Amino acid sequence: MTTFRRLACLGMCLCCASVASAQLERVGDVALLDQHGEFHQLSRYQHKQAVALMAWLPGCAAQETTLKAFSDLQAQYASQDVAFLLVDASGSRDRTGSNWDGLRVLHDETQLVSESLGMDQAGDVRLINPQRLTVLYKGPAGQALADALDTLQGEPLRQTVTVAHNSCAIDFAARNAHQHDLPDYAADIAPLIIEKCVVCHRENGVGPFQLDSHLSLLGWSPMIREVVMNRRMPPAQVDTMVGHSVDARRLSTEERQMLVHWIDAGGPRGDSAQDPLAEFEFNGDKNWLLGEPDYVVKTPPYAIPAAGILDYVYVDVALPFTEDRWIRAIQYLPGSPKSLHHLMAYVTAPDEDFWGAERSSTAASRRFLTSYIPGEPTVREYAPGTAIFVPAGHKLSLQLHYMTYGMQSVDETQIGLYFTEQPGLKEVRTRAVSANDFLIPAHTPDFSVQAEHVLEEAVVVTGVRARMNYRGKHMRFAVELPDGSQRELFSIPSYNYAWQPHYQLDTPVHLPAGSRLRVSGAFDNSVSNPANPDPARDVSFGLSSSDDVFIGYFTYYAAE
């Protein structure tokens, strides 16, 4: 080959390499709560053209100019479907002082989001396309960011624009510590997975894959990292700044940092000869944890196909009691734990169905037992001196939801009832506070709804549950006391139709007569909602899953 031909080939290779490298950087999906406890996830901004995130470090004077420019750009581009969000990258867990000129401040208490976006100094901005999760711009707020924003209305960028700047460095203390002393698989990671994940991700568990060895954990680690970063897992997460419940599932700040940093380091096996995941056996869904029940209800056998999406199954089960009974505790034993995704149970009159008075009343008071969702064994013991009342001749009305997993199965779930004959019991009831007069317009990402009910008697609230269908976005439970003061009880910032636990409050709340129970929330009927079957359709109230409901449940008993 002649020298000329060699140079020509080299030139072509360099040209191809240059074209190949001229591409937009990509980021993973992430989610955080803001200073108001509202949930923000990159992929849930698909109704926007772009999301601008700026790292904010309280106390950094060097970022003030950039911060002012960022705020000015928000006002300038307010009509162009761009979301502007600050990210508190300090690692602080205090949301009370986070406010700057009307901007939403997302709290990155783990610093994992700031790490993953490469924002290592105050004032760093990332302009992101939420449809493709590509980075359009990296640098400070200013004219270069404005130029990148202008391309949203014209020729799209094909390469990430990067502008250097100097500001206060962000101290990633946990990352630095883990780089010097990486968490150990056998001592740290495997016990965490056993405690938080294996209850679903096991043989015959409802999780789509098993975590039964270091090798399986390593293979699924990219997926695990993704769902931890965007807060899809663990399920049933709540805002712990508002309320606490043993039924809420979460990873602590330290646990999330430990797990993600271990995955980022390649998930090393470590030196231990033991593999705790391979040795662990789960028996929680096979035994009666309170001893043999006084009576066992069996659901009719239900055949689950190998594939497909299944609608809810409604079943009435007769009870043979000729005298009144009081239930002090209940336990569910699923017949097919890999298929049964949730079960709700009510005590109902002979002519009453599962929905009962909720079909017409916006404040129905009913006898709700508890809900089953996958995970820890579902055992509910009611507070001392309280119980569920079962009048003679009443029955159980059940709602069951099954998931397919590639194999046919049959479910016959058992419900263990434990009775008490203690005198002077207080009846546990559940108030369904709902709205039934709404119409959610098509292509609407944040449609607010509110419902309320005034208590006629003093009560003790022991638990709450949110119920919406596919378009549910978030729900918050609060109370206005007779003196006009407000108290927040519980918040579910990212509602998921697939997970509907009943949250037993860690601390029951005493409310006087005249208190106003208030439920507020929103629906997302847009393309940004991954569960939305049809964002082009207006949706009204209806008990079918193709429609939607807005119900906040308060479980309570009469106060002294």
Domain boundary among 251, 279, 307: 279
**Contacts (Cβ under 8 Å, ≥6 apart) of 356:** 346, 348, 364, 366, 397
The pLDDT assigned to 20 comes to 37
Tokens for 201, please give them: 């991700």
Element (H, E) at 193: helix 190-196
Residues 187 and 155 in one domain: no
Q: pLDDT value at position 287?
A: 86
CATH code of the domain covering residue 49? 3.40.30.10
Indicate whether 41 and 129 sit together in one domain. Answer: yes
491 part of a folded domain: yes
Query: Is the entire prediction scored with pTM above 0.95?
Result: no
Instruction: Kindly report the CATH number assigned to the domain that includes residue 390.
Output: 2.60.120.310
For the chain, residues with pLDDT lower than 50 are 1-21
- 434 and 540 belong to one structural domain: yes
Same-domain check for residues 27 and 164 = yes
Judge if 407 and 441 occupy the same domain. no
Decide if 285 is inside a domain: no
Number of domains in the chain: 4
Same domain, 156 and 233: no
Residue 317 covered by a domain: yes
How does DSSP assign 43-72, residue by residue? GGGTTSSEEEEEEE-TT-GGGHHHHHHHHH
- Is residue 3 included in any domain, yes or no? no
Same-domain status, 268 and 186: yes
User: Is 13 inside a domain boundary?
Assistant: no
Task: Sort 260 into a burial class: Cβ within 10 Å, 0-12 / 13-18 / 19+.
Answer: buried
Spell out the residues 6+ positions from residue 280 whose beta carbon is closer than 8 angstroms to its own. Answer: 194, 198, 212
Residue 367: its pLDDT value, please? Answer: 98
pLDDT digits (tens, 9 = 90+) for 331-355: 999 999 889 988 999 999 999 999 9
Residues 422 and 435 in one domain: no
User: Which amino acid type is present at position 48?
Assistant: K
The answer to whether the CB of 51 falls within 8 A of the CB of 85 is yes
DSSP state of 540: E
Q: Let me know whether 416 and 491 are in one domain.
A: no
- Domain with 204, as residue range(s), is 180-279
User: Quick one: 465 and 373 in the same domain?
Assistant: no
How far is Cα 266 from Cα 269, in angstroms, rounded to an integer?
9
Beta-carbon contacts of 189 under 8 Å, excluding residues fewer than 6 positions away, are 183, 217, 258, 259, 262, 267
472: tokens are 């549910």
Last residue of a domain, one of 217, 252, 279: 279
CA distances from 193 to 187, 199, 279, 280 (A): 11, 9, 13, 11
Q: Is residue 289 part of a domain?
A: no
Residue 94, domain member (yes or no): yes
CATH number of domain containing 509: 2.60.120.230
CA 355 to chain centre: 26
154 in the same domain as 35: yes
Domain end, chosen from 426, 452, 485, is at 426
User: CB of 103 within 8 A of CB of 88?
Assistant: no
| 203, part of any domain | yes
Domain identity same for 34 and 160: yes
